[in-house]
Structure 1
Amino acid sequence: MKPKIYSIPLRQLASGDFMSLQIYKFTGNQTGKKAYIQANLHGAEVSGNAVIHQLIEFLMTLDNSQLIGEILLVPVCNPEAVNARSHQFSSGRYNSYDGKDWNRIFWDYEKENVDIEAFAKSQIDLSETEIKNNYRQEILRCFNQQLETINSGRGTPFYKQYRYQLQSLCLDADYVIDLHSSTNQSLDYLYCFHGRQESAKFFLLDYGMLMNEGEYDGYSFDEAFFKPWLALERHLQKLGKPIQFEIESWTLELGSGMNMNPESVAKGVRGVKNYLANKGMLKISEFPLTELADHQIIFTPKKEMKSYYAPVGGMIQNRLKPGTVVKQNQRIYQILNFNKNQDLPKVIDVFAETDGLILDNSTNHSVNQGDFVLDIIWEKSFD
């Protein structure tokens, strides 16, 4: 099976050169669900590109009968961020022009002054499929109204043009998978919306950050896609018509920034294959992995993750690594603290406030007061 490969121009630079996206579209000979997979929205988070490359190679070994529906794959989905450099260091988390986080700019249907409650009431006697199709059309209709401003003579900021191009590829999808890496030195984990914990297990990762209601604002890519559907489910539930639509959105954090960790890439490839096979999109002999059907994932509510920041400036030493289980009052790192008070340097111990597991460490061992140092997640399984 060969993909259809096409490019979408994104932006013309002052030099006259163009930046563009390249899309790989695989279509089965049976209609079905649509999966959208992208990587490298933040410039330093590169592992997802290797995942997509291996998925492309894998899909090309199949025939059209083994794919139900279609899969869109978009590597290096943010070329401006990917190309950002400071010496040998890749940054690209923020737009250097306006300072915006590239993953906090996306269009959210709920913020368009729409009445989802009224829509839910108007659909109460329809089937789940009819409601899903009608709601999707409403979202797309509202989304496409941005084109008038984008195409106007006075123009619009680039981030609005960029998000339109990226979201236009996925708003009609059933499954969205956004491949990231941690900015820090990190374990592999995913972000999971409440109510989708069972599907999260298909990715075969050990850790998940659970986003409960009210813990997401709709500005990140996965949230902007999925938040309106959760809102519709909530309104239908109140009306006595409980529905959980077969629509899902995920962010996978695979390894650490600026690194192509082979183990993280392998986990990403295996997880995406297993997920798509469990969703009935792939008919392949080796997946789903039946021996891992009971795989358990440790979920931590997002609000219960504890971030630690440097109490003073200095150099981090003797810090525990990601994956280390810690107990309350256990030392987790030290800061070698210099001063300008004619005193000798001090070594300051920092202790865990709770039991938990270290999720990630800052890349830089040199910290100013208030800089991020590490995250600890908590779950009863660590007790």
Structure 2
Amino acid sequence: MIPIISTVPIQQLASGDCLSIQVYKFIGANPGKKTYLQANLHGAEIVGNAVIHQLIEFLISINDTQLNGEIWLVPVCNPISTNQRTHYFSTGRYNPSDGKDWNRIFWDYEKECEDLEDFAKSHINLEVDAIQNEYFKRIKTIFDKLLEKLNSPSGAPFNERYRYQLQSLCLDADYVIDIHSSSNQAIDYLYGFHRREESAKYFLLEHEILLNEYDGDAFDEAFLKPWLALENQLETLGKPIVFDKESWTLELGSGMQMNPESVEKGVQGIKNYLAQKDILSIPDFPLPQTASHKVTFVSKSTLKKYYAPRGGMIQSRVKLGASIEAGERLYQIISFNKEELPKLIDVCAENAGLVFDISTNHAVNEGEYVLSVM
């Protein structure tokens, strides 16, 4: 199966050069759902590009009759952040122009939908597909108006132009997968949403951070929050519905690294998910272990980040992926204070949990990030 390849320009530079992203569209012979995948929204988080490359090679190898619907893949979806460097180290988590996190800029229809209750009441007696179609029309109508501002004489900041390009690619999707990794070092896990817990096991990862609370306009949130809001409103009115809309962030391994194990997990999990959703009809998938696979769900609000109480050098830190008990030592800081002998400071766990993310740098200033426990 040969993809349709398109190039989307996103920014012309002062030099006259133009930055762009490539979209690989695989269209199946059979009608079905649309799946959108992207990678490398943050500069150091490159592993998703290897995942998408392997998925492209796989999709090229199958027949179009084995694909129901369509799959759009966008590697290196943020060339600005990908190319950002300090010495030899990738940074690229924040827009250098305004300091905003690249994954906290996206447009969220839920914040602008002031008449959600009226919409739910006036459409409550329709079939699910009809409600979904009418609601999407409202989302798209408001989204299309964003282009008027971009094309106005006063223009708009680049982050608004950039988000419009990315979101226009996935606005009509049914399933969205945003592939990240830690900017530091981390285990493989995923972020997911309420009422989608059953689908989480299709990715065959062991841990999911459940997003019951939202801390910003992240890409996965901006796509799914309007649908979650409508579900909640309909449930309040006595008509519980779960729309066939899902959004996921896969966190695969560590920043600036192409960990082969993380890539393999990502590729296998995504293929398994797409087969389970009847997007792919391929031999051996869904994998037989899917039904019995167990996922540990952790609420995002319960995550605990640890920051250095003093400046110094970290030693004796627990290993990534370690299970720890309350009161157990997490790490030591060798603190040099210029006035007396160096001190060793023990930092112990406030609660039991799993160490899922650790800093790359073992030298810390006071208040800098060291590790996270779920």
Could you state the TM-score of these two structures normalised by the residue count of structure 2? 0.99
Bigger mean CA offset, 215-224 vs 302-311: 215-224
**SS of 1:245 mapped into structure 2:** coil
**SS of 1:162 mapped into structure 2:** helix
**SS of 1:266 mapped into structure 2:** helix
Conservation of the 8 A alpha-carbon contact between 2:201 and 2:290: no
Alignment of 1:251 onto 2:254: no
Q: What is the one-letter code of the residue matched to 1:158?
A: F
Alignment of 1:351 onto 2:353: no
Alignment of 1:286 onto 2:284: yes
| Cα offset, 1:114, TM superposition | 3.0
Q: Percent identity?
A: 62
| Cα offset, 1:217, TM superposition | 4.5
| Cα offset, 1:155, TM superposition | 1.0
Counterpart in 1 of 2:364? 367
Distance in 1, Cα, partners of 2:165 & 2:215: 21
User: What is the correspondence of 1:77-116 to structure 2 with a 5 Å cutoff?
Assistant: 77-116=77-116
Distance in 2, Cα, partners of 1:180 & 1:63: 29
- In the alignment, structure 1 segments of 5+ residues that lack a partner are 378-383
Distance in 2, Cα, partners of 1:209 & 1:185: 17
| Cα offset, 1:192, TM superposition | 1.1
Distance in 1, Cα, partners of 2:42 & 2:350: 31
Conservation of the 8 A alpha-carbon contact between 1:218 and 1:227: no
Conservation of the 8 A alpha-carbon contact between 1:108 and 1:218: no
Distance in 2, Cα, partners of 1:286 & 1:96: 46
**SS of 2:200 mapped into structure 1:** helix
Deviating beyond 3 angstroms after TM superposition, the runs of 4 or more aligned structure 1 residues are none
Q: What is the one-letter code of the residue matched to 1:61?
A: S
| Cα offset, 1:99, TM superposition | 0.5
| Cα offset, 1:218, TM superposition | 5.2
Alignment of 1:68 onto 2:68: yes
Pair 217,344 (structure 1): closer, same or farther in 2 beyond 3 Å: closer
| Cα offset, 1:286, TM superposition | 1.5
Q: What is the one-letter code of the residue matched to 2:284?
A: E
Distance in 2, Cα, partners of 1:356 & 1:8: 43
Conservation of the 8 A alpha-carbon contact between 2:312 and 2:334: yes
| Cα offset, 1:291, TM superposition | 2.8
Q: What is the one-letter code of the residue matched to 2:342?
A: P
Distance in 2, Cα, partners of 1:327 & 1:63: 51
Pair 229,113 (structure 1): closer, same or farther in 2 beyond 3 Å: closer
Distance in 1, Cα, partners of 2:369 & 2:118: 44
| Cα offset, 1:344, TM superposition | 0.1
Q: Deviations over 1:86-141 (max 9, x none)?
A: 11000000001111100000000012253111111111110000001111111011
Distance in 2, Cα, partners of 1:119 & 1:106: 24
Q: What is the one-letter code of the residue matched to 2:331?
A: Y
| Cα offset, 1:282, TM superposition | 0.3
Counterpart in 2 of 1:277? 275
Distance in 2, Cα, partners of 1:103 & 1:68: 30
Distance in 1, Cα, partners of 2:140 & 2:290: 38
Distance in 2, Cα, partners of 1:92 & 1:311: 27
Distance in 1, Cα, partners of 2:256 & 2:28: 35
Q: What is the one-letter code of the residue matched to 2:104?
A: R
Conservation of the 8 A alpha-carbon contact between 2:5 and 2:23: yes
**SS of 2:320 mapped into structure 1:** coil
Conservation of the 8 A alpha-carbon contact between 2:132 and 2:243: yes
Distance in 1, Cα, partners of 2:17 & 2:172: 31
**SS of 1:145 mapped into structure 2:** helix
Conservation of the 8 A alpha-carbon contact between 1:184 and 1:361: yes
Alignment of 1:192 onto 2:189: no
User: What is the correspondence of 1:3-152 to structure 2 with a 5 Å cutoff?
Assistant: 3-152=3-152
**SS of 1:256 mapped into structure 2:** coil
Q: What is the one-letter code of the residue matched to 2:326?
A: Q
Counterpart in 2 of 1:153? 153
Alignment of 1:222 onto 2:220: yes
| Cα offset, 1:292, TM superposition | 3.4
Conservation of the 8 A alpha-carbon contact between 2:43 and 2:90: yes
Distance in 1, Cα, partners of 2:47 & 2:328: 33
Pair 228,113 (structure 1): closer, same or farther in 2 beyond 3 Å: closer
- Aligned residue pairs total 374
Distance in 2, Cα, partners of 1:191 & 1:33: 21
Q: Deviations over 1:40-76 (max 9, x none)?
A: 0001000000000000000011111100000000000
Counterpart in 2 of 1:331? 329
Backbone CA RMSD of aligned residues: 0.8
Distance in 2, Cα, partners of 1:36 & 1:327: 40
Distance in 2, Cα, partners of 1:220 & 1:355: 29
Counterpart in 1 of 2:165? 165
Conservation of the 8 A alpha-carbon contact between 1:254 and 1:265: yes
Conservation of the 8 A alpha-carbon contact between 1:176 and 1:222: yes
Q: What is the one-letter code of the residue matched to 1:263?
A: E
Bigger mean CA offset, 11-20 vs 115-124: 115-124
